[in-house]
Amino acid sequence: MNLIPSFHSRFHHPLISLTLDLINFIFFLSAAIALAAQLGVHSCGNRKYLIINGITNGGGYWDMERRCRQAQALTAFLWLAIPLWIAGAVVSWYEYFKAKEGTSNSSGRGRLGRTVRPVRGMSQV
């Protein structure tokens, strides 16, 4: 989600990053819950389960077992990606409150009275 701020820092606002991270987290969580609930916990070798389940029975594959295994792998990926989205939201939250704290002082000095210097990216070094 931080593609535009990587090109130009003036387009970056921590509240926007935080909001987008939280929205992505909600979508990932809801997709993981819905897919896991629809799939259930069954063996992909169970032919009756493959025929009854709407996810495994369709999509243009002749091999329903392959589609079942792909859906199970996607479910596992979603559940493993959720902690990464949470970590991203925590980092965005930290950046937001750090930026909010920095703008509260109009003198240009930080909390300890030191002058705040802008952080330079690698392209500016």
Full pLDDT tens readout for the chain, 125 residues:
555 555 556 666 777 777 887 888 899 899 999 999 999 888 889 988 888 888 887 766 678 888 899 999 999 999 999 898 888 778 878 877 887 776 655 554 444 444 555 556 555 55
Per-residue model confidence (pLDDT) at position 112 = 46
Q: Whole-model pTM above 0.75?
A: no
Residues 48, 68 contacting (CB under 8 angstroms): no
Positive or negative, the Cα torsion across 4, 21, 81, 88?
positive
CB 38 within 8 A of CB 95: no
Q: How confident is the model at residue 19, as a pLDDT?
A: 82
**Domain assignments of the chain as residue spans, ordered by start:** 13-101
Q: Using the structure block, give the residue that is written with the tokens 């077992």.
A: 65
What is residue 119's three-state secondary structure?
Answer: coil
Contact 55, 66 (CB under 8 A): no
Could you list the beta-strand ranges (E) of 1-125. Answer: none
Distance of CA 58 to CAs 40, 45, 48, 64, 67, Å? 17, 16, 14, 8, 8
59: its two tokens: 């999509």
